[in-house]
Structure formats: structure tokens, C-alpha cells
Structure 1
Amino acid sequence: MREQPPYLRIADVLRQRIADQEWTPGDRLPSRAQLAQECEVGENVIRRAQELLISLGVLEGRTGSGTYVAEPRERLRMVRSQYREQRGGSPFSADMASLGKRGTWESRTDAKVPAPAGIAARLGITEGDLCVRTAYEFLVDGKPVQVSTSWEPYALTSGTLIVLPEGGPLAGAGVVDRMAEIGITVGHVVEQPQPGEADAEEATLLGVQRGALVTRIRRTYYSDEARPVETADIVIPAATCEIVYEVPVSP
């Protein structure tokens, strides 16, 4: 087995010292130099370990002051389920309402955007074919919790009432309801989650540090004829949100 990277080992050590209540919420940690001496590693290892714990919400960095044990905070439960697509209206708003919270979003749509190679492959079209691209920032009680970029083939919705996802009579409705409006039945959706780190733009939009841990979800909706009708890249911060998948079980 490969040896664990030093910064991960030190992160475990720091986390255990917090669990043992050597440091409690609000306490300032010793300096990096002191921790490096105690743990017999370089200061850069301590820095990387602290940055990891900050991204996980265990520690909190305060500019010009140092690093502190963060106050415990409840992570927002983000449910991914087939049932969320059967409610009508916005699945996100319905999900947040079930938690007693207000889910809203901001968006920006660009029509007739040439599809990059990766997006074209996911949508089953040719690179350069026109798409409708919509960038979203989702908010819960006014605070950002998720960003995503959605792509739909322009040829699929051109000339219809749903060509703009956030315009027309079905503005704000989910993909399933919008596609039903033009006679397309969505048969299934595929989601591929993977861990990652927030880039500079994502960090700004989500209110987290650059490099903070995030979950990236590549989502694609398919018609009942197995045609891709929409694909999106979703980014959710790991420190403030937990992702839960509900999977139906046949009797």
C-alpha cells in the first residue's frame, strides 16, 4: 500500500486533538512553526493540513489572526432522488421548502453557443453545434449552496416556448416539465459525482476558499428514446452541504 501523504496524516492528528477536546470551538491553534516542531514536519505540511481542515469546516482561518477551531455547523441536506423530478415546478425549491428553507436561484442564459467537444459528446451532437447554455447560482435563505452550468441542444428547443430555460411560461420549471411541453418524455437521468477542489470562480460564487473541497456532479437527462436532452455540471461545497441519494427498491 502507498504511504499516506504527510499532510493527510497531520490533518488526522489535528482532527483527533480537536476530538479529544485539546482544542475546542473558538480556540486559536498554535502557530504553524510550533505545530511543525511538535509534529516533526515542515511548515508547508502544516499549511496543507490546515487548508484541508478549513475546506471541511473543521478549522477557520482568520486573516491576520491565525487559525481557529470552527464552531460546529449543520450541513445542508441535498437529496438526489427520482421523486424530486415528479413534483412539478422547481425541484430545488420543493426540496428546500421541505426543509423549511427558501430556495431561490439566479441565472444567465446564452443562446446559440457552439458546443465544446466534451459537451457535444455528452449530448450526442457534433462539436460546434449550437446550444443554449445557462449558468445558475442556487441560494438557500440568500446564501449560495450550489452552482451549475446547463447545456441543451438548440436544435431541440428552437422555435418553442421553452427555448430559454428561464424565460417564457415555463420559466423556472424543471427539465422534465419543460421537455414534456414539447412532447418529449424524459425517461431517466444519469448522475456521476466525483470529488474536486473549487477553482477561483467557483470559490467566489460559493463563498468558500479557493481549493476548498467540492462535489462535482455530471448530470444528463435522456428521453424515453435514450436521446440526451440536457447535460449539466453541478458544483456543491463539501463543508456546508451533504449529498444524499434516494434509490427506489422494487418489492
Structure 2
Amino acid sequence: MPREAQYLAVAEVLRARILSGEWEIGERLPSRARLAVEYEVGRNVLQRAMNRLIIDGLLEGRAGSGTYVRTPRERLRLVRSRLRHRRVDSRPGPDRRERGRADAWDSHSQVRVPAPEPIAERLAISPGDLCVNTHYEFLADGQPVQLSESWEPLAITGETPIVLPEMGPLAGKGVVERTRSIGVVISRVVEVPRPARATQVQANLLGISVGDLVLQIERTIFDADGRPVETADMVIPDVRREVVYEFGVDRP
């Protein structure tokens, strides 16, 4: 049997045993060595099979302890809509009380950060042009639910009271309201969602496993002249969030 098919076959057998309740939630599975002998496969094949179930959210590895049946987590809906909220922001605000919404966040901004080439391209500026770079970590009911990294060209907000998103008279008010205060009107938002696997850093911050599915959303906000005024990369753990896009229909 090809090695690829081997590890997938073992993963499916283990999946069936887990779903049948052979091991209870929170229970430690037999060692990899024991399971490898039981299935008459090499340890590498067994390791790949268990990694597949870790990625799928059925198992979790605990350093120095073993592999356990993972406690199911409720998957809440996260609606991204222009209908219910006209506000455009990489941070859900405290006025949004939808169940599962972020109700607390930490942020850290740096000023005069040179734009990396991919960010410069998205902002239609030159690589190395100075920006304000802000990292956000969002919590809902004490659980991490989203990461965001925002970039704003210093050429737009520099020397204004809104240069720092979380400080000043409009701290935390969002891109639309902040930029409006300096005469910049937002007219368009473009979001590009892509599936990905959690990196080590993302997994640590979100409380998930390395390799877990995440949704990465590349979001860029444009003013009335078509100029990009902010771009952000959002990371949402798939195991906790079902992301739904809601659109209106133009009537004739």
C-alpha cells in the first residue's frame, strides 16, 4: 500500500474509534509505539495519521504527556456584513453584542515602520515608506478568537491626532470615523479570504494547535479617490468560527 494511503487509512480507523466513543473526551490515547504495533505500520505513518486528526480537531497533543481526545468546541457564527453595521474596522467594537463577538482586545502600535514590499503593493506606496503597524488580539468570553495586523501609511495620518488607532480623541473608533475626522472619506472595502494552517505563533496566541485550519482575510480599505488608507491581515480559527459574508442586493 502506498505510504500516503497508509497514513490516511490509519487516520480513518482512529477517527471511527474516537467518534464511536472508544476513548472518552479528555482521555489519553495509547502511545504511538503501541498503536503502530497494533496497526502494523511504522511510527512515522502512525505519527502522520495522528497529526491529521490533530489538524481536524479530534485530538490534541500535550508536550511531555501524550495525545488526548479533544474537547469539542462550539463553533460560533461570525457575520461580516455591510448591512447591519456600516462601520469598517479590523477591531470588533464594544457596541457589538452578538453572541461570540469579541468583547475585549489588546493592541500594540509602532510608528515609522517601513512597509514590507507586499504591504507596500497593497497600499500603493513604495517599499520602505513609513507606516503605523498595529497588532491586535481579540477575546470573546475570555477566549482568543481573532488576530489582526493593520498597516496605515504615515503619509495619511502622520502629524494628525489619529496617528495611533488606540490613542487620541478617536481611540478605538475604527478606520471610517478616524479618517473622516481628517477629511478622508472611505468608499470601498475589499476582502480576500483564504484558508491556511496555523503557524506556531498564531497557534500560541489563539490557543489552538499548530496546523489547525484558520481563515486568513486580507482586507484593504480605500477612500473616495481610490487610494488605499489601511490594509490588514486577520486570522480567525476555523475550529471556533464559521465566517459568513452577508451582502445586499441593489434594487432597480
Q: Which residue number in structure 1 is paired with residue 43 of structure 2?
A: 43
Task: Report how many aligned residue pairs link the two structures.
Answer: 249
Q: Tell me how far 1:96 sits from its aligned partner.
A: 5.4
Q: Which residue number in structure 2 is paired with residue 21 of structure 1?
A: 21
What is the alpha-carbon root mean square deviation over aligned residues? 2.7
Write the deviation string for residues 39-73 of structure 1: whole angstroms up to 9, x where unpaired.
Answer: 44432232233233224431132344432222222
Structure 2 segments unaligned to the other structure (5+ residues) = none
Going from structure 1 to structure 2, the CA distance change for 1:174 and 1:5 (only over 3 Å counts) comes to farther
Q: Tell me how far 1:126 sits from its aligned partner.
A: 0.8
Q: Which residue number in structure 1 is paired with residue 233 of structure 2?
A: 233
CA distance in 2 between partners of 1:142 and 1:46 (Å): 35
Q: Which residue number in structure 1 is paired with residue 154 of structure 2?
A: 154
Identity %: 54
Going from structure 1 to structure 2, the CA distance change for 1:245 and 1:49 (only over 3 Å counts) comes to farther
Structure having the larger proportion of residues in helix = 1
CA distance in 2 between partners of 1:217 and 1:99 (Å): 21
**Given residue 19 of structure 2, which amino acid in structure 1 is its aligned partner?**
A
TM-score (norm. length: structure 2)? 0.85
Residue 208 of structure 2 corresponds to residue 208 of structure 1: yes
CA distance in 1 between partners of 2:137 and 2:49 (Å): 29
CA distance in 2 between partners of 1:57 and 1:13 (Å): 16
1:1-251 mapped onto 2 (5 Å cutoff): 6-83=6-83, 85-87=85-87, 92-94=92-94, 97-99=97-99, 103-251=103-251
**Given residue 166 of structure 2, which amino acid in structure 1 is its aligned partner?**
E
- Secondary structure of the 2:184 match is coil
Going from structure 1 to structure 2, the CA distance change for 1:52 and 1:224 (only over 3 Å counts) comes to farther
Write the deviation string for residues 181-200 of structure 1: whole angstroms up to 9, x where unpaired.
Answer: 22222222111122222223
Write the deviation string for residues 130-184 of structure 1: whole angstroms up to 9, x where unpaired.
Answer: 1111111111123322111100111111222211111111111121222222222
TM-score (norm. length: structure 1)? 0.85
**Given residue 212 of structure 2, which amino acid in structure 1 is its aligned partner?**
A
Q: Which moved more, 1:105-114 or 1:231-240?
A: 231-240
CA distance in 2 between partners of 1:55 and 1:14 (Å): 14
CA distance in 2 between partners of 1:191 and 1:7 (Å): 36
Q: Tell me how far 1:237 sits from its aligned partner.
A: 2.0
Instruction: Check whether the contact 1:52–1:212 (CA below 8 A) recurs between aligned residues.
Output: no
Q: Which moved more, 1:138-147 or 1:92-101?
A: 92-101
**Given residue 104 of structure 1, which amino acid in structure 2 is its aligned partner?**
A
Q: Which moved more, 1:168-177 or 1:91-100?
A: 91-100
Going from structure 1 to structure 2, the CA distance change for 1:192 and 1:229 (only over 3 Å counts) comes to same
Q: Which moved more, 1:121-130 or 1:156-165?
A: 156-165
Instruction: Check whether the contact 2:76–2:100 (CA below 8 A) recurs between aligned residues.
Output: no
Q: Which moved more, 1:78-87 or 1:228-237?
A: 78-87
Going from structure 1 to structure 2, the CA distance change for 1:25 and 1:160 (only over 3 Å counts) comes to same
Instruction: Check whether the contact 2:146–2:236 (CA below 8 A) recurs between aligned residues.
Output: yes
